[in-house]
Amino acid sequence: MSKFLIQNKIYFLILCFFSIFVVFFSFYKNDIDSFYSFFLSLSFVTIILLFIYYFTIYKLIFYFPINILFNIYLLITFLYFIFNYNYILFNTYPAFFNDLDTIVFHNLFNDAIILLITTIFFFNFAFFLIVNFLKKKNKLFSKFK
């Protein structure tokens, strides 16, 4: 294995452990008892990690395209949000908007996670199609040279 691949696997494992730990710790710290929210959060993090693994380790992309940076950006902001869930619920949100009931905020949180999951899935799927299309197009044009 190349040094680049080993280094990517090590960084990816660190990112996986850190992300999963933050999800579990955040739900414990903020007393969020909804299994549905936990399942959505864990699936969101898992989907992002699977796409990062696919494009950086399995496909061996040596550059960092916009989809990987976008995935990491959404992962970090999501982890930061669930880590500070209670602070946002009780301090930040009422300061900018009207007071919300905890259940309403929780439902909005679940809906936002569903939107983020579909955004991540379709954005990465489009990138996957573009990469495969360009590979086939390059092979086609290389025959005519």
Confidence of residue 27 (pLDDT cuts 50, 70, 90): very high
> How many whole angstroms separate alpha carbon 91 and alpha carbon 103?
16
Tokens representing residue 32 in the block: 């969020």
Position 75 pLDDT exceeds 90:
yes
Whether the Cβ atoms of residue 10 and residue 84 lie closer than 8 Å to each other: no
Confidence of residue 8 (pLDDT cuts 50, 70, 90): confident
Lowest mean pLDDT among 25-29, 50-54, 129-133: 129-133
pTM for the whole thing? 0.82
Per-residue confidence (pLDDT) for residue 143, from 0 to 100: 55
**Among 23, 15, 22, 16, CA closest to 39:** 23
List Cβ neighbours of 99 (8 Å cut-off, separation of 6 or more): none
Per residue in 85-97, pLDDT (tens digit) is 888 888 887 777 7
Position 134 pLDDT exceeds 80:
no
Domain ranges in the chain are 3-143
Per residue in 31-61, pLDDT (tens digit) is 888 899 999 999 999 999 999 888 888 776 6
